[in-house]
Chains A and B, each alone.
Chain A
């Protein structure tokens, strides 16, 4: 039985069916790469996986148990990096990250934030206010949340956007380390990220083509 799977998922955005009948499965240590043209529903699928929105039909299973039954447990085992970076311009890099570390209620948020900044080579910017960061630096700050505490499932929406090559390599190394320790990664990307043996899911394969003359919903 795969660790994390989705069965027969249908995603509805207002009145448009983005995809239907989508199945996927991710096992321990695996990486799933979502591909497909813009608007095919990669981000929507990641938000569904995170539990930020609900599928119109279908369900998500974790070790065979329905995730919808215990959303709190699911939230605790995932890290979601969306395409918005959630960086507060008035707070420094370290304060931004410490605020997120503090929310999980764990001990020593500041120390964990400092360690996470080092992993993403942002420690020299620790005292710089968020408003002075470049797009790539904001993205790295957002990604460094991944290193705050261990979580088995990483959901990354276009994580390489605005990153330079060194940072892309660093992210690939973090993902490798995460998978080696049994973690799972689901990510959408247009650029090549150096991943070992990723499973690829083309979301546009599940797009719904309306029959001629048929009006969908």
Chain B
């Protein structure tokens, strides 16, 4: 466990030292959402209607930005060999990377979203549920993304392949997350949608590191 936490710490300090990844994701997220009022017009009703979907899709794309480098830099500089030879199982290594990725990109997206919800005139009643769905969705994005990042590791043009592989897998999360916010706005119960999202997360938590570790082993061979 100490080895796991120290690996997370190393990745966090690397990310903060370089700084670009976290800032890029949040800035991309904000800019992406800000473009919509320009595109669809400043009509508050329309913006409020599309707000949950826009924010969720933008968050999904923003978290995709830094996924390609999740294992790439460690693979290229030989660190991945040493991580594979460390006492930590590769599954734990993958999980540590996912946790660090979420802390560096997922959490800042969560922090920036209330401002964007305000910008898009999302009714106050929907904000709490939106934050809750983002809290469940962003770790899911990091987990599923890690599987894709491990699978495309060492592939030529892996950066292009990764979104094609991963985006379809994000669809269920997107459906339930948007459903939860829509339900809350319509005065219905958001709980069933949130529970399904939680179920997806509970399934991905053990399965995604297993799949990612298998991908890493194939890349090392």
Q: What residues of chain A have their CB less than 8 Å away from a CB belonging to chain B?
A: 50-54, 72, 75-76, 78, 80, 82-88, 90-91, 95, 99-100, 102-105, 109, 145
Check B79–A52 contact: CB distance below 8 A: no
CB < 8 Å neighbour of B17 from A84, A87, A90: A90
Alpha-carbon distance A16/B88, docked complex (angstroms)? 32
Tally of contacts, chain A with chain B, CB under 8 A: 70
Residue numbers in B under 8 Å from A78 (CB-CB): 85
- Of the candidates B13, B87, B89, which one forms a contact with A104 in the assembled complex, judged by CB atoms under 8 Å apart? B87
What residues of chain A lie closer than 8 Å to B84, measured between beta carbons?
52
Q: Is B183 an interface residue (CB 8 A)?
A: no
B6 lies within 8 A of A99 (CB): yes
Bound CA–CA A51/B79 (angstroms): 15
Whether B3 and A103, one on each chain, are in contact in the complex, defined by CB atoms closer than 8 angstroms, is yes
Q: A53-B221, A90-B17, A90-B18 known; A103 and B81 CB under 8 Å?
A: no
Q: Do A82 and B78 have beta carbons less than 8 Å apart?
A: yes
Instruction: Say whether B86 contacts A103, CB under 8 Å.
Output: yes
Residues of chain B whose beta carbon lies under 8 Å from any beta carbon of chain A:
2-3, 6-7, 9-10, 13-14, 17-18, 76-79, 81-89, 220-221
Q: Is the interface of B mostly helix, strand, loop or mixed?
A: helix
Given contacts A52-B220, A90-B18, whether A80 and B81 have CB atoms under 8 Å apart is yes
| Minimal Cβ-Cβ distance residue in B for A53 | B221
Task: List A contacts of B17 (CB < 8 A).
Answer: 90-91
List the A side residues contacting B9 at CB < 8 Å: 102
Residues on B with C-beta less than 8 A from A76 are 87
Measured in the bound complex, the distance between the Cα atoms of B81 and A87 in whole Å is 12
Query: Across the interface, which residues of B come within 8 angstroms of A105, CB to CB?
Result: 2-3, 87
Verify A72–B87 contact, CB threshold 8 A: yes
